[in-house]
C-alpha cells in the first residue's frame, strides 16, 4: 500500500521541487497544501504519515502548524523543509517536535538520506 | 520597452518568490548570527513596477518615517538591476545594542552600521539568488542614497537607469523589536526575459 505523504508549501514551484527530490521508487500517495490550515485538515484525515513542511507561509505558518501538531499529538512525522536556516529556526522546530530540518532547495540525495536515517524507507527499497 | 510588453504570470511570480525566499533566508542567517538574534522572515512580494511607484510600494514604511538607504547595482549574464536596503531610524539603536556598541547617535557610526548591514544582506541575497539560476553577478560599489530622510525623492537618481522593473521586496523584522529592514531587488525590464528563460531551464531540469 502506498505511504500517504503531505507536502505543505505556499509555493507551487517549491512543492514541485520537493516531489522531484523524492526517491522515484518510493510508493507514495501525495497530498499537497499551501498553508498550515490546509495541512492540518489533511493530517487530521489521516492522509499524512510523513509531512514535509515549509515555515514561511501566509495564513498559518510552519511554526504554528507544528505547535498544533505537537499539542494535539497528531499522527504525522514532520520534516521541515525551509529557506529559513537561522540556528534559532532549527532549534525551535526541533523543540516543537519536528523530526528533521532540511534547508532549501532540497536535493534528492538529502531527501533519500533523511528518509533512510529515520527508517521511513529502507536502503534496499529505493 | 513599453509597459504593455511586461507581463508576469502567476507561475513565474511564484518562482521568483520562492527563489528570493531561499536567498533572503541565507542573508538573514548571516545577519542573525552576527547580531545573535532571530530575524522574522516575511513572504517576499513580487511586483512589476515603475520607478515612480517605488516609494509607494514600500508598504511597511510609514510615510513620515525617516530612513537611511543604500543602493548597489549588479549585473551578469545580461541581467542587471539594483539592490536597495532601507533602514528606519528606529533600527539604529537596536542594531547598536545587539552589537554591544555604546556609541549610538553619531552619524559616522550609523553610516558604518548601515554599510555593514547592506554588505551582509545585499551580498548574501544576490549570491543566493544568482546561484539558484546559475549565474554570477558583479556588484558595483554601494552608494548611500541618504540618511535620516523621508522616502519621497530618495530614488530619483538610480544606480542603473530604469523606468520599469521587476521588484522583489523583503521586509525583515528583528524579533521583539520595532526595527524593520527593507530589502529590494530590482531587475530592469530588459532582464526579465532572460530571467524567465533561466527559470524555464529550472522547470525542465
Flag if B28 and A12 touch (Cβ within 8 Å): no
Q: Indicate if the pLDDT at residue B2 is higher than 50.
A: no
Q: Which residues of chain A have a CB within 8 Å of the CB of B23?
A: 83
Instruction: Give the nearest partner residue to A13 out of B14, B25, B32, using CB atoms.
Output: B14
Confidence at residue B98, expressed as pLDDT on a 0 to 100 scale = 87
Q: Report yes or no: B27 and B119 within 8 Å, Cβ to Cβ.
A: no
Flag if B29 and A85 touch (Cβ within 8 Å): yes
- Most A CBs within 10 A among B19, B23, B25, hence the mutation to make, goes to B25
CATH H-level superfamily of B7-204:
CheC-like (3.40.1550.10)
Least Cα separation, residue B30 to chain A (angstroms): 8
Strand pairing class (B67-76; B79-88): antiparallel
> Residue B67: which of B180, B175, B186, B184 has the closest Cα?
B180
Flag if A105 and B28 touch (Cβ within 8 Å): no
Across B78-86, average pLDDT? 94
Q: Which residues of chain A have a CB within 8 Å of the CB of B133?
A: none
In angstroms, the CA A87 to CA B198 distance is: 31
Confidence at residue B18, expressed as pLDDT on a 0 to 100 scale = 96
Which helix (H) or strand (E) segment holds residue B179: the answer is none
Q: Indicate if the pLDDT at residue B156 is higher than 50.
A: yes
Q: Which residues of chain A have a CB within 8 Å of the CB of B173?
A: none
Across B70-98, average pLDDT? 92
Q: Indicate if the pLDDT at residue B110 is higher than 80.
A: yes
Q: Which residues of chain B have a CB within 8 Å of the CB of A55?
A: 41
Q: Indicate if the pLDDT at residue B153 is higher than 80.
A: no
Which helix (H) or strand (E) segment holds residue A39: the answer is helix A36-44
Residue A114 maps to a domain: yes
Q: Report yes or no: A33 and A15 within 8 Å, Cβ to Cβ.
A: no
Confidence at residue B44, expressed as pLDDT on a 0 to 100 scale = 94
In angstroms, the CA A116 to CA A89 distance is: 24
In angstroms, the CA A6 to CA A15 distance is: 10
Flag if B32 and A86 touch (Cβ within 8 Å): yes
Q: Indicate if the pLDDT at residue B68 is higher than 50.
A: yes
**ipTM of predicted assembly, 2 dp:** 0.92
Confidence at residue B103, expressed as pLDDT on a 0 to 100 scale = 56
Q: Indicate if the pLDDT at residue B4 is higher than 70.
A: no
Q: Which residues of chain A have a CB within 8 Å of the CB of B26?
A: 83, 85
Chain B within 8 Å of A12 (Cβ-Cβ)?
yes
Give me the DSSP letters along A7-26: EE-S-HHHHHHHHHHS-TT-
Instruction: Give the nearest partner residue to A86 out of B17, B22, B38, using CB atoms.
Output: B38
Confidence at residue B160, expressed as pLDDT on a 0 to 100 scale = 61
Flag if A85 and B39 touch (Cβ within 8 Å): no
What contacts 24+ positions apart, CB below 8 Å, involve A99-105? Answer: A103/B25, A104/A14, A104/B21, A104/B22, A104/B25, A105/A14, A105/A17, A105/B22, A105/B132
Flag if A104 and B21 touch (Cβ within 8 Å): yes
Across B10-25, average pLDDT? 95
Whole domain around residue A31: which residue ranges?
Answer: 3-121
> Residue A39: which of A49, A19, A27, A53 has the closest Cα?
A53
Chain B within 8 Å of A51 (Cβ-Cβ)?
no
Task: Assign residue A113 the CATH number of its domain.
Answer: 3.40.50.2300
Across B125-138, average pLDDT? 96
Q: Which of A46-55, B72-81, B102-111 has the lowest mean pLDDT?
A: B102-111
Taking only residues 37 to 56 of chain B, the set having a beta carbon closer than 8 angstroms to any beta carbon of chain A reads 37-39, 41-43
Flag if A104 and B41 touch (Cβ within 8 Å): no
Flag if A56 and B38 touch (Cβ within 8 Å): no
Q: Indicate if the pLDDT at residue B56 is higher than 80.
A: no
In angstroms, the CA A79 to CA A56 distance is: 14
Residue A13 maps to a domain: yes
A105 prior amide bond cis, ω within 30: yes
Model confidence at A69, pLDDT cuts 50, 70, 90, reads very high
Name the phi and psi angles at B44, rounded to 5: -60, 145
- Our count of domains for chain A comes to 1
Across A28-35, average pLDDT? 97
Taking only residues 83 to 112 of chain A, the set having a beta carbon closer than 8 angstroms to any beta carbon of chain B reads 83-89, 103-105
In angstroms, the CA A35 to CA A56 distance is: 9
Q: Report yes or no: B21 and B128 within 8 Å, Cβ to Cβ.
A: no
How many contacts does A have with B, using Cβ atoms within 8 A?
58
Amino acid at each position: 500500500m502506498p505511504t500517504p505523504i503531505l507536502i505543505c508549501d505556499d509555493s507551487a514551484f517549491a512543492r514541485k521541487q520537493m516531489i522531484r527530490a523524492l526517491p522515484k521508487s518510493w510508493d507514495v500517495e501525495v497530498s499537497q497544501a499551501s498553508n498550515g490550515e490546509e495541512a492540518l485538515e489533511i493530517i487530521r484525515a489521516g492522509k499524512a504519515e510523513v509531512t514535509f513542511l515549509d515555515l514561511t507561509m501566509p495564513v498559518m505558518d510552519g511554526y504554528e502548524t507544528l505547535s498544533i501538531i505537537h499539542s494535539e499529538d497528531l499522527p504525522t512525522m514532520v520534516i521541515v523543509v525551509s529557506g529559513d536556516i537561522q540556528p534559532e529556526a532549527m532549534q525551535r522546530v526541533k523543540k516543537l517536535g519536528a523530526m528533521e530540518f532540511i534547508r532549501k532547495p532540497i536535493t534528492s540525495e538529502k531527501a533519500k538520506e533523511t528518509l533512510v536515517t529515520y527508517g521511513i524507507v529502507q536502503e534496499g527499497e529505493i | 520597452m513599453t509597459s504593455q510588453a511586461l507581463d508576469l504570470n502567476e507561475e513565474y511570480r511564484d518562482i521568483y518568490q520562492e527563489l528570493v525566499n531561499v536567498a533572503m533566508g541565507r542573508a538573514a542567517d548571516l545577519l542573525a548570527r552576527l547580531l545573535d538574534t532571530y530575524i522574522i522572515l516575511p513572504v517576499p512580494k513580487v511586483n512589476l513596477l515603475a520607478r515612480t511607484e517605488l516609494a509607494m510600494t514600500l508598504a511597511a514604511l510609514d510615510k513620515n518615517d525617516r530612513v537611511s538607504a543604500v543602493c548597489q547595482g549588479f549585473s551578469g549574464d545580461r541581467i542587471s538591476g539594483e539592490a536597495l536596503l532601507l533602514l528606519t531610524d528606529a533600527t539604529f539603536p537596536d542594531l547598536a545594542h545587539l552589537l554591544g556598541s555604546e556609541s549610538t547617535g553619531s552619524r559616522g557610526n550609523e553610516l558604518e552600521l548601515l554599510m555593514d548591514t547592506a554588505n551582509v544582506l545585499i551580498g548574501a541575497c544576490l549570491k543566493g539568488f544568482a546561484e539558484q539560476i546559475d549565474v554570477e553577478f558583479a556588484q558595483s560599489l554601494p552608494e548611500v542614497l541618504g540618511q535620516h530622510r523621508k522616502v519621497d525623492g530618495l530614488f530619483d537618481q538610480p544606480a542603473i537607469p530604469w523606468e520599469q522593473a521587476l521588484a522583489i521586496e523583503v521586509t525583515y523584522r528583528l524579533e521583539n523589536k520595532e526595527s524593520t529592514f527593507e530589502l529590494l531587488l530590482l531587475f530592469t525590464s530588459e532582464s526579465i526575459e532572460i530571467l524567465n528563460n533561466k527559470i524555464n531551464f529550472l522547470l525542465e531540469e
